């Protein structure tokens, strides 16, 4: 089973290495990883996708919460959440008719063409993983020259992770965020 874990971490050097080392030492493969700043410059948010049983992931979560630079960890498995991937992809378009066909697909998938050259277009598309995969399959016959994808990012629809709560506090609710504002 795939889990999307999100960790609020202190914005310090070595945090990513520490977390990935801990995951590797427990034989967990990280399928996707995204790290970026949060609304508070003291913290970053790491979102990673890993496979495993709920029981083994609970153990990993406990181990993550023991790392001093981690403020909080959330598994989105049982939470309503919004998740997105971002992809840039170069698709071969050797004729005006191919460019037109690709443009039509881009519009259908609500992406955007961000660069055009004589032989290809570069497309930006974001959405759930299945949307990204469907788009890749749709443009594959034209010829994919190159592509890159970000790691998955996610936020809970209802709850919020706040740096004000204690580590491991299961009540990472929006109340925490409203009280700290």
| Chain segment 37-49, per-residue pLDDT in tens | 888 889 999 998 8
Q: How confident is the model at residue 160 (pLDDT cuts 50, 70, 90)?
A: confident
Between CA 77 and CA 149 the distance in angstroms is: 22
Q: How confident is the model at residue 61 (pLDDT cuts 50, 70, 90)?
A: confident
Q: How confident is the model at residue 174 (pLDDT cuts 50, 70, 90)?
A: very low
pLDDT at 119 over 80: yes
Q: What does the angle CA 83 – CA 28 – CA 34 come to, to the nearest 5 degrees?
A: 35
Query: What is residue 172's predicted lDDT score, i.e. its pLDDT?
Result: 42
Burial class (CB in 10 A: 0-12, 13-18, 19+), 66: exposed
Among 89, 88, 68, 63, CA closest to 5: 63
* Residues comprising the chain, all counted: 181
pLDDT at 132 over 70: yes
pLDDT at 161 over 60: yes
Hey, what are 21's tokens?
């080392």
Residue with tokens 């959440």: 81
Query: What is residue 63's predicted lDDT score, i.e. its pLDDT?
Result: 84
Q: 39 or 138: which carries more pLDDT confidence? A: 138
Between CA 46 and CA 167 the distance in angstroms is: 15
Query: What is residue 162's predicted lDDT score, i.e. its pLDDT?
Result: 63
Query: What is residue 158's predicted lDDT score, i.e. its pLDDT?
Result: 84
How many Cβ atoms from other residues are within 10 Å of residue 139's Cβ? Answer: 23
Q: How confident is the model at residue 26 (pLDDT cuts 50, 70, 90)?
A: confident
Hey, what are 151's tokens?
């790691």
Asked if 45 and 68 touch (Cβ cutoff 8 Å), the reply is no
Q: Which of 49-53, 132-136, 174-178 has the lowest mean pLDDT?
A: 174-178
Q: 38 or 180: which carries more pLDDT confidence? A: 38
Asked if 83 and 76 touch (Cβ cutoff 8 Å), the reply is yes
Name every residue whose Cβ is closer than 8 Å to that of residue 135 and which is 6 or more positions away in sequence: 87, 89, 105, 109, 111, 125
Mean local confidence (pLDDT), 69-95: 91
Name every residue whose Cβ is closer than 8 Å to that of residue 63 and which is 6 or more positions away in sequence: 22, 26
Between CA 102 and CA 49 the distance in angstroms is: 30
- C-alpha dihedral over 72, 77, 81, 87, to 10 degrees? 90
């Amino acid at each position: 089973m795939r889990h999307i874990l999100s960790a609020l971490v202190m914005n310090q050097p070595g945090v990513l290495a520490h977390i990935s080392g801990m995951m590797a030492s427990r034989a967990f493969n990280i399928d996707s990883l995204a790290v970026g700043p949060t609304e508070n410059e003291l913290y970053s948010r790491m979102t990673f996708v890993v496979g495993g049983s709920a029981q083994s992931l609970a153990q990993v979560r406990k181990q993550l919460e023991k790392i001093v630079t981690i403020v909080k960890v959330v598994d989105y498995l049982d939470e309503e959440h919004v998740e997105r991937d971002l992809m840039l992809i170069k698709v071969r378009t050797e004729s005006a008719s191919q460019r037109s066909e690709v443009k039509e697909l881009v519009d259908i998938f609500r992406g955007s063409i961000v660069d055009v050259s004589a032989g290809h277009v570069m497309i930006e598309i974001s959405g759930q993983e299945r949307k990204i995969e469907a788009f890749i399959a749709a443009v594959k016959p034209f010829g994919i020259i190159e592509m890159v994808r970000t790691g998955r990012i996610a936020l809970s629809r209802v709850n919020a992770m706040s740096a004000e709560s204690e580590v491991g506090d299961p009540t990472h609710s929006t109340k925490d965020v409203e009280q700290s504002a």
